Amino acid sequence: MTVNIALLGFGTVASGIPFLLKENGQKISSAACTDISISKVLVRDEAEKQALLAQGHDYNFVTDITAILTDPSVHIVVELMGRIEPAKTFISQALEAKKHVVTANKDLLAMHGSELLDIAAANQVALYYEAAVAGGIPILRTLASAYTSDKITKVLGVVNGTSNFMMTKMVDEGWTYDQALAEASRLGYAESDPTNDVDGIDAAYKMVILSQFAFGMTIKFDDVRHEGIRNITPADVKLAQKLGFVIKLVGEIVERESGIYAEVVPTFLPKTHQLATVNGVMNAVFVESIGIGEAMFYGPGAGQKPTAASVVADIIQLAMSVAEGYSAPPFNTFSRETIYAKKEDLLDKYYFAIETEDKSGQLLRLAELFHAENVSFEQVFQDKISDHVATIAIISHQMDLNQFDNLVAKISSLDGFTLRNTIKVI
């Protein structure tokens, strides 16, 4: 038999799919126990259709989703349009038409994933989205298969290629944030509005999805504390290097006794940590669990071919269930009530970079302030940055998130001091 798929959208990733289906046809057919064929492709309008046909693309292009929804020969719908609408409506309709759906739409899944998964379950079809997190790394399927036997305690991820490319330049070449952003833009890694990448928003979306697979809980996007890399200076980078760290934007999800917690924040990583050598646009997810222990999954985070390879891997799994006539298992079966950790269960060390007038007694004032919060210094560095201004860099001992928030608030309101940056220390 042949399993028919319909593509929604024919952009960069979508056009990589026919390449892989052809290039690896035999391997794919034996894995899927069936041939897979692209039977329809939804495009925006007649103009796009004519343009694609003129380019020599030989597909059955349609401009109305109904042509796909009402076609009983279409088994799997592959959404690659991106953004929330109309993707959300089309996916819902496809699921309601009892078609399996594959998508790489991370924003949509992070914001509306639960709702879509409910629709899939109600219609006894499946929604797969391996490519939504760390495009070329099969991290979701790995969490949902290899880790079903295990209990995960921590996930660390370098999952935004743009910001990691920038941080790599800032660490390896000593570039400023602005220099790194200019180069990322020049190379097409950064969009004209880079907010989502550099402020940790994109990585926070991914933490929402990872939390469902790794912990069976759904952290809401608004509950993922996120902070980006805009404030990181060459001075921060240099001090980190001196102490044996590199700085990266790291997403972290942990389960503590009281519940789970997720954040995306700039982080001092020891140079010997496996994540420290994840450079450029590459991604990696580091997993700690009671069974396997420490493991890391490294690969490209985006790009046409890696993303298309992940999408096709999902298609193959679903095609096999269609061909063999069993119901496709849900992409993720791990689900528990979502319980958030208490702030006092979240212990970390932090780096504080504080600017102040270069006069005696300033460090004492800070020391008193930290002491009042019951937090002690591990290391302190002072640097004169101009005639009258000094930077005081503090690496603290562990504190909980309440203490950290209190310290940040107090330092920020302290007369004569400017809190230039805080960075978590792993």
* Binding residue numbers for NADPH: 106
Residue 140 CB burial class (10 angstroms; 0-12, 13-18, ≥19): buried
Report the DSSP pairing between strands 294-300 and 245-256. Answer: unpaired
Q: What is the largest CA-CA distance in the chain?
A: 82
**CB closer to a copy of itself, 77 vs 313:** 313
Using CA atoms, how far apart are residues 304 and 11, in angstroms rounded to an integer?
Answer: 9
**CB closer to a copy of itself, 161 vs 200:** 161
Using CA atoms, how far apart are residues 199 and 131, in angstroms rounded to an integer?
Answer: 22
User: 3-state class of 340 per DSSP?
Assistant: strand
Contact (Cβ atoms closer than 8 angstroms) between residue 226 and residue 219: no
Give first-to-last CA distance, the chain, whole Å.
53
Of 41, 137, 171, 394, the one binding a copy of itself (CB under 8 A) is 137
Which positions from 331 to 360 touch a copy of itself by CB under 8 A, shown as an x/- string? --xxx-------------------------
**CB closer to a copy of itself, 49 vs 141:** 141
**CB closer to a copy of itself, 146 vs 243:** 146
Q: Does 316 bind a copy of itself (CB under 8 A)?
A: yes
Using CA atoms, how far apart are residues 233 and 218, in angstroms rounded to an integer?
Answer: 34
Of 329, 384, 397, 416, the one binding a copy of itself (CB under 8 A) is 329
**CB closer to a copy of itself, 249 vs 287:** 287
User: 3-state class of 342 per DSSP?
Assistant: coil
Determine which one of 99, 206, 248, 424 is catalytic: 206
Judge if the upstream peptide bond of residue 86 is cis by omega within 30 degrees of 0.
yes
The binding site comprises: 106, 191
The binding site for L-homoserine comprises: 191
The tokens for 132 are 């939504």
Of 46, 115, 191, 294, the one binding a copy of itself (CB under 8 A) is 294
Cβ neighbours of residue 294 under 8 Å, at least 6 residues apart? Answer: 274, 286, 287, 288
Of 2, 20, 241, 414, the one binding a copy of itself (CB under 8 A) is 20
Binders of a copy of itself among 149-178, rule CB under 8 A? Answer: 149-151
Give the shortest CB-15-to-a copy of itself separation in angstroms: 14
Binders of a copy of itself among 51-80, rule CB under 8 A? Answer: none
Of 13, 32, 81, 246, the one binding a copy of itself (CB under 8 A) is 32
**CB closer to a copy of itself, 68 vs 137:** 137
Of 34, 310, 396, 403, the one binding a copy of itself (CB under 8 A) is 310
**CB closer to a copy of itself, 147 vs 352:** 147
Tell me the residue type at 1.
M
Q: Does 23 bind a copy of itself (CB under 8 A)?
A: yes
In the Cβ-directed half-sphere of 39, how many Cα atoms lie within 13 Å? 16
- 3-state percent breakdown (helix, strand, coil) of the chain, nearest 5: 40, 25, 30
Would the CA dihedral through 386, 390, 395, 401 be positive or negative?
negative
Binders of a copy of itself among 104-133, rule CB under 8 A? Answer: 130
Among this protein's residues, is 88 annotated catalytic? Answer: no
The tokens for 314 are 């999902």
User: 3-state class of 400 per DSSP?
Assistant: strand
H-type alpha helices, 87-138? 87-96, 106-122
Of 290, 283, 298, 107, which is closest to residue 208 (Cα–Cα)?
A: 107
Give the shortest CB-397-to-a copy of itself separation in angstroms: 28
Q: Does 426 bind a copy of itself (CB under 8 A)?
A: no
Which positions from 197 to 216 touch a copy of itself by CB under 8 A, shown as an x/- string? -------------------x
Of 214, 229, 315, 411, the one binding a copy of itself (CB under 8 A) is 315
Footprint of a copy of itself (CB under 8 A): 20, 23-24, 27-28, 30-33, 130, 136-138, 141-142, 144-151, 216, 272, 274, 277, 282, 289-300, 303, 305-306, 308-313, 315-317, 320, 324-327, 329, 333-335
Point out the residues that are catalytic: 206
